[in-house]
Amino acid sequence: MTRQSILIAASALLLIVAVSLSAQYGDQPYQWSPQRYWEGRPDFSRGEARGYFIWNDPDGWHVRWSTVNGERHRYAGTIRCNGTFYYVHPVGLDPADYFSLSSRGRIQFDTRVQHAEQDGVDFRMDMKATKVVFDLSMDGRQVPTHLVRVGATSLRPQFLPLRIDRDPANAGYWYNPAFPPR
């Protein structure tokens, strides 16, 4: 089989998958199922990765931001939910860093990370929360999406702010229509 034949076959397969997903979901919001892409820690190491890392596990939600050895960056952002945050714990912040739980559903931070540092926040949300939104910046600008990794598979969002919704039919299930099917 020639290389051109393989490319044509692969393109046809992708088209079939796209059409079947379109027919399956129609006007309904896309629900990433059954995999919960945000579960599990993304693969990153302090001092070897730059950007934001977001995941959920049995201990709650976790957000980390890190930089590569020798670099300095300013990480700032807001995490919002339409419920109440609880068990909110900043991680690795210096005294000069800003961190605030400004209302029950809003976390704000403004930190400087240099060399091999890693900062972050851990939190949980009450069962009334149906969405969580991560509005993230780096060095005074919205962070490029390729510097945001979500879940154990390190998926990257298509756009920011990143919004993840809780499925009303299943309180333990979250989804995000911003991530396309693979």
Q: Are 165 and 144 in contact (CB under 8 A)?
A: no
> Is 180 within the bounds of a domain?
no
Question: What pLDDT, in 10s, does the model give residues 52-111?
Answer: 999 988 888 999 999 988 789 999 999 999 999 989 999 999 999 999 998 789 999 999
Give the model's pLDDT for residue 15.
Answer: 38
Count of domains observed in the chain: 2
Query: Which residues are registered as beta bridge partners of 63?
Result: 54, 121
pTM above 0.75, yes or no: no
Looking at the fold, whether 4 and 88 belong to one and the same domain comes out as no
Which residue range(s) make up the domain with 149?
32-175
Looking at the fold, whether 89 and 144 belong to one and the same domain comes out as yes
Kind plus residue range of the DSSP H or E element containing 51: strand 51-57
